[in-house]
Amino acid sequence: QQIPVTLIPGDGIGPEIVDVVERVFDALGNPFAWDKQQAGLNAFEKSGDLLPETTLSSIRQTGLALKGPLTTPIGGGFRSVNVRLRETFQLYANVRPARTIVPGGRYEKIDLVMVRENLEGLYVGHEHYVPIGDDAHAVAMATGINTRAGSRRIAKFAFDYAVRNNRKKVTIVHKANVLKALTGLFLETAKQVGLNYADQIEFNDRIVDACAMQLVLNPWQFDVLVSTNLFGDILSDQIAGLVGGLGMAPGANIGEGAAIFEAVHGSAPDIAGQGLANPTALLLAAALMAEHKGLHKVARDLRDAIDATVATVDGRTADIGGKVSTSKYGDLLIERIRDK
Ligand code: NAI
Ligand code: MG
């Protein structure tokens, strides 16, 4: 019984890396039935819409999407497709695991997860210039909104995630010493939630700036981190940097009724169509999706194949110091999976 998934190839390197995902999942026994849909610049050029209704209705039906990177045109007042998807499907949790896969980097044995609130905080978009008419003294304002309900929901998600994935500790990241209301509410609520898990999961809290420093000095002290939208956005890129950068970083956007999985990186127009793209981030996103649907063996087999392939330099794409092309890397993964 295949699980229906909306598959969005996207722009730039998107189609090349999605092709590898399709071939690798064929080798893994085809657990997903892909419904291929368009979004991004390519969709805009065909239909005049960055996020066509047919794509939205596919996700409404499947409740599950794997998304290649999308190019949002600069200028013209286009809203980010990613933000629209988050809002449309109320994808309140953004999950970014970071695990060392390529040995010999700056950090070995990193294994941590950032859980970011994805709908509230300073990203609600209540931003404006104060009309005082004098450009030299211009004033800009932004409003952040955190709610008790939203904070409780993301904290509960983080602790449940920790329990489900055999994690030991959750660190609540905030700036409650300065933003006493906005992030104080979040901290207080998250701690209350944490008390309900006291027999299973340890928790502590960190002020965001100190946390950023600690992530560089001693990242091994962390396990699961949970934070508000802006801090989570920044720290999750920092965490991706600990494990070799964009080509290796997957992400999940999870809501009550839908979940969308993606690579953290963008459409990389500078290398598109040259066989230079690393499909690992999107493959790892697909592994997260498999786990989300309880397909733990599929996820494990895929991760094992990736680990074994990038363990030596002749299994690596250029961004992580090798010479293997995008599609050849796919071939190597498929050989590993078949030989198992
Ligand atoms: P980018 O992530 O596309 O590229 C940054 C750098 O990393 C480039 O040098 C690129 O070649 C390299 N890179 C990225 N992914 C790679 C991979 N898988 N393998 C090897 N190298 C890789 O970020 P950039 O250039 O700022 O954005 C390009 C476009 O992507 C923009 O239109 C932006 O809006 C969009 N974007 C879309 C995202 C999404 O759909 N989730 C996320 C971020 C950006
Ligand atoms: Mg970001």
- Predicted-complex ipTM score: 0.98
The H-assigned helical ranges of 148-252 are 148-164, 182-195, 208-217, 229-242
Same structural domain for residues 171 and 290?
Answer: no
| Residue where a domain terminates, one of 210, 242, 274 | 242
Ligand 1 neighbourhood includes 116 CB (under 6 angstroms) = no
Confidence of residue 86 (pLDDT cuts 50, 70, 90): very high
Residue type, position 40, single letter: G
Distance 51 CA to ligand 1 centre (A): 19
CB 142 within 8 A of CB 122: yes
Using alpha carbons, select from 218, 244, 232 the residue that is nearest to residue 94.
232
Residue 85 lies in a domain: yes
Nearest residue (CA) to ligand 1, atom 43: 266
Same domain? 118 vs 52:
no
- Which candidate in 35, 223, 233, 301 is catalytic? 233
Instruction: Evaluate: CB of 68 within 6 angstroms of ligand 1.
Output: no
Q: Is residue 106 part of a domain?
A: no
How much is the average pLDDT of 100-116? 92
Same domain flag for 128 and 235: yes
Determine, yes or no, domain membership for 197.
yes
The verdict on 222 and 277 lying in the same domain is no
119 Cβ contact partners less than 8 Å away, ≥ 6 residues apart? 86, 87, 90, 91, 92, 150, 229
> What is the secondary structure of 259-326 as a DSSP string?
EEEEESS---TTTTTTT----HHHHHHHHHHHHHTT-HHHHHHHHHHHHHHHTSGGG--GGGT----H
Whether 235 and 254 map to the same domain: the answer is: no
Q: Is 50 in the pocket of ligand 1 (CB under 6 A)?
A: no
Ligand 1 mean position, distance from CA 41 (Å): 14
Looking at 242, 258, 279, which one is the last position of a domain?
242
Which of 191, 223, 242 is the C-terminal boundary of a domain?
242
Per-residue pLDDT tens digits for 278-308:
999 999 999 999 999 999 999 999 999 999 9
Measured distance CA(291)–CA(289) in Å, rounded: 5
Per-residue pLDDT reduced to its tens digit, 243-265: 987 889 999 999 999 999 999 89
CB distance 244 to 211 below 8 Å: no
- In this structure, the dihedral spanned by the alpha carbons of residues 221, 205, 202 and 155, taken in order and rounded to 10 degrees, is -120
Instruction: Determine whether the shortest distance from the Cβ of 270 to ligand 1 is under 6 A.
Output: yes
d(CA 229, ligand 2 centre) in Å: 10
Same domain for 214 and 262? no
Confidence category of residue 194, pLDDT binned at 50, 70, 90 = very high
Q: Is 267 in the pocket of ligand 1 (CB under 6 A)?
A: yes
For residue 302, give its domain range: 1-100+245-340
Residue 19: inside a domain, yes or no? Answer: yes
Residue 315 DSSP SS3: helix
Token pair 């999107």: residue:
282
Do 137 and 53 reside in the same domain of the chain? Answer: no
- Indicate the pLDDT class of residue 41, thresholds 50, 70 and 90: very high
Q: Is 277 in the pocket of ligand 1 (CB under 6 A)?
A: yes
Q: How confident is the model at residue 124 (pLDDT cuts 50, 70, 90)?
A: confident
CATH of the domain at 250: 3.40.718.10
Tell me, what's the pLDDT at 58?
A: 98
| Residue 146: φ, ψ to 5° | -120, 140
Q: Is 252 in contact with 114 (CB distance < 8 Å)?
A: no
Classify burial at 307, counting beta carbons within 10 Å of its beta carbon; exposed 0-12, middle 13-18, buried 19 or more.
middle
Catalytic status, residue 161? no
DSSP tally for the chain: helices H, then strands E: 11, 12
Q: What is the mean pLDDT of residues 123-131?
A: 82
Active site residue 123: yes
233 is catalytic: yes
* Residues with Cβ–ion distance below 5 A, ligand 2: 233
What's the CA-to-centroid distance between 24 and ligand 1, angstroms?
22
Task: Quote the pLDDT of residue 203.
Answer: 98
Residue 96: nearest ligand to its CA? 2
**Domain-embedded: residue 269:** yes
> Which is catalytic among the residues 11, 35, 67, 123?
123
Determine, yes or no, domain membership for 105: no
Is there a single domain that holds both residue 125 and residue 222?
A: yes
Distance 190 CA to ligand 1 centre (A): 33
* All residues at 6 or more sequence positions from 309 whose CB lies less than 8 Å from its CB, including other chains: 315, 329, 332, 333, 336
Flag whether 252 is in a domain: yes
Q: Is 183 in the same domain as 204?
A: yes
What is the best residue among 246, 261, 274 to mutate for testing ligand 1's pocket, by most ligand atoms within 8 Å of CB? Answer: 246
Q: Which residue minimizes the CA distance to atom 24 of ligand 1?
A: 266
Given a cut of 90, whether residue 117 has pLDDT beyond it is yes
* 338 and 261 assigned to the same domain: yes
Note the pTM of the prediction, 2 decimals.
0.94
Counted domains in the chain: 2
pLDDT bin (cut points 50, 70, 90) of residue 222 is very high
- pLDDT at residue 105 tops 90: no
Instruction: Give the closest residue to 90 by CA, choosing from 174, 154, 185.
Output: 154
Q: Does residue 133 form part of some domain?
A: yes
Verify that 202 and 261 share a domain, yes or no: no
CA–CA dist 29, 338 (Å, integer): 10
- The answer, yes or no, to whether any atom of ligand 1 lies below 6 A from the CB of 82, is yes
User: Is there a single domain that holds both residue 125 and residue 150?
Assistant: yes
Q: Is there an atom of ligand 1 within 6 Å of 228 CB?
A: no
Give the distance from CA 64 to its chain's centroid. Answer: 14
